[in-house]
């Protein structure tokens, strides 16, 4: 069973998916059928199918066969865009956007805690850990978004205690007007930000929480927002790469941008 032969099987299936021969959720040919069609052994066909399973393209279910994974990712509004709200605002941006895309059960669970700054958070907020005890504290707002009952996206925002302490930002209730509006009410203006987006493989606990199969990475978007040179918050959004694609826009984008971008699928060939 050479690597080249199992790669032939994987390439055959990958091309069939690219041509649209099998749609999301549709059952693929079995090992025996593939083996006969491609003149390989059943064991080689099985290894080839596992390559696509590791890529997250198919799901192999014991006793039932192999099925095409749903690779129709939702557009994640990485920045506010014309015609759509910021994804950081759940009811004004994230929830209606997913419902317009055909998802009906879209819920958010918010949790707030107070903790000392981890080195990573202190670095993002440009804070020297080890100063006055209160200066080391950070207010943490965690937001888990669930779609059709499954965890879809996790977003955590860290605020220095001297900004968020004893303010509405510490309320465990959703912020209807959004973080930006709350900060503005506190006399703080979000003037500019930087984002970094990368991909990494999930830990086992993350894979279990998101219900991810083998080979599916997580997209991680980090954002630090400033007023002048002062960091106001650090937000980290974690999302399965097979369910999300990030939308940025620049210049004077048209009103229909969100509609146009919602029809884009990076898995198309």
Whole-structure pTM value: 0.78
- Strand 65-68 and strand 244-247: the pairing is unpaired
Question: In this predicted model, what pLDDT tens digit does every residue of 111-131 receive, in sequence order?
Answer: 999 999 999 999 999 876 555
Please state which architecture CATH assigns to domain 74-262.
3-Layer(aba) Sandwich (3.40)
pLDDT reported for residue 135: 57
Which of 178, 167, 177, 119 is CA-nearest to residue 139? Answer: 167
- Neighbouring CB atoms inside 10 A of 127's CB total 18
Provide the pLDDT confidence category of residue 63 given band limits of 50, 70 and 90.
Answer: confident
Which of 113, 79, 85 is CA-nearest to residue 97? Answer: 85
Delimit the CATH 3.40.1410.10 region(s) of the chain.
Answer: 74-262
The answer to whether residue 41 scores a pLDDT higher than 90 is yes
Delimit the CATH 1.10.10.10 region(s) of the chain.
Answer: 3-68
Question: In this predicted model, what pLDDT tens digit does every residue of 221-259 receive, in sequence order?
Answer: 999 999 999 999 999 999 999 888 888 888 877 777 777
With contact defined as beta carbons under 8 Å apart, do 136 and 117 qualify?
yes
Q: Which has the higher per-residue pLDDT, 82 or 20?
A: 20
Q: How far apart are CA 164 and CA 139, in angstroms?
A: 6
Class of the CATH domain delimited by 3-68: mainly alpha
φ and ψ of 103, to 5 deg: -95, 130
Q: Which residues does residue 230 pair with via DSSP β-bridges, in sequence order? A: 227
Question: In this predicted model, what pLDDT tens digit does every residue of 131-165 receive, in sequence order?
Answer: 544 458 999 999 999 988 899 999 999 999 999 99
Highest average pLDDT, of 95-99, 106-110, 220-224, comes from 220-224
Which of 246, 143, 242 is CA-nearest to residue 195? Answer: 246
| Residue 225 DSSP SS3 | strand
Name the one residue in this structure whose structure tokens are 């399973």: 53
Kindly state the percentage of the chain with pLDDT values over 70: 91
Which of 248, 221, 247, 252 is CA-nearest to residue 236? Answer: 221
């Amino acid at each position: 069973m050479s690597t080249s032969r199992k790669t032939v099987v994987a390439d055959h299936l990958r091309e069939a998916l690219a041509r649209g021969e099998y749609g999301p959720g549709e059952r693929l040919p079995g090992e025996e059928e593939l083996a006969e069609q491609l003149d390989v052994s059943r064991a080689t066909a099985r290894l080839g199918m596992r390559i696509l399973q590791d890529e997250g393209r198919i799901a192999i279910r014991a006793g039932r066969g192999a099925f095409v994974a749903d690779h129709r990712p939702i557009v994640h509004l990485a920045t506010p865009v014309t015609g759509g709200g910021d994804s950081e605002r759940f009811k004004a941006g994230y929830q209606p956007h997913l419902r317009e895309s055909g998802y009906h059960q879209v819920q958010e669970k918010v949790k707030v805690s107070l903790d000392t700054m981890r080195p990573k958070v202190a670095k993002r907020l440009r804070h020297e850990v080890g100063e006055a005890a209160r200066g080391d504290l950070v207010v943490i707002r965690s937001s888990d978004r669930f779609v059709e009952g499954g965890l879809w996206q996790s977003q955590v925002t860290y605020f220095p205690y001297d900004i968020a302490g004893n303010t509405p930002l510490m309320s465990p209730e959703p912020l209807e007007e959004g973080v930006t509006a709350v900060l503005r009410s506190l006399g703080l203006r979000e003037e500019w930000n930087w984002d970094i987006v990368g991909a990494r493989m999930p830990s086992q606990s993350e894979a279990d929480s998101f219900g991810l199969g083998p080979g599916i990475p997580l997209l991680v978007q980090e954002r630090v927002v400033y007023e002048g040179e002062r960091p106001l918050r650090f937000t980290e959004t974690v999302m399965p790469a097979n369910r999300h694609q990030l939308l940025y826009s620049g210049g004077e984008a048209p009103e229909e941008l969100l509609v146009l971008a919602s029809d884009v699928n990076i898995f198309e060939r």
